[in-house]
Homo-oligomer: A and B are copies of this chain.
């Protein structure tokens, strides 16, 4: 058996490829430029803190403008950075000139989202020509620990160079 059941397929692959941390500078620039155009991320105070092949991390510090009725982070903000992290993780593995759209995502909220900041991690699980599946995780920074607050799964579609929308 060449794969290890019980580990995320992408993790196995990544582990066997020491080159996988090297992302072409032009792709990183493209990803960061696109992120900077997202009015919502700026409005929420979210920043892209790590860009790697097939993996993106976005951090969003706490502020009262991000709360739900109990004063914790609102699940809407959690979703926003999780979806964005997954989308750009997909874009890092798409052919040059591609664009990305979220087809759907699902998120389980597993603990109260309270802390100094949230950190969303999007990671490609399976990359295909048309569709790509990502794993989504969100952690809350509490004192010196990262506490998992949400886990999810996302489907992305790769749009071709001409910018033609191929999904509908």
From B2, B133, B151, give the contact of A110 (CB < 8 A).
B133
- Tally of chain A residues near chain B (CB < 8 A): 81
How many of these chains are in the complex? 4
A69 to B103, CA, bound (A): 16
Question: Whole-angstrom distance from the CB of A148 to the nearest CB of chain B?
Answer: 4
Contact (Cβ within 8 A) B151 A6 = no
Complex contact B108–A146 (CB within 8 A): no
A140 to chain B, nearest CB (A): 10
Enumerate chain A interface residues (CB-CB to B < 8 A): 1-9, 11, 34-35, 37-44, 55, 57, 63-70, 74-77, 79-81, 83-84, 99, 101-112, 119, 121, 123, 125-131, 133, 135, 137, 139, 141, 144-148, 151-153, 155, 157, 165-168
Q: Which 3 A-B pairs have the closest CB atoms?
A: A76-B80, A128-B168, A106-B106
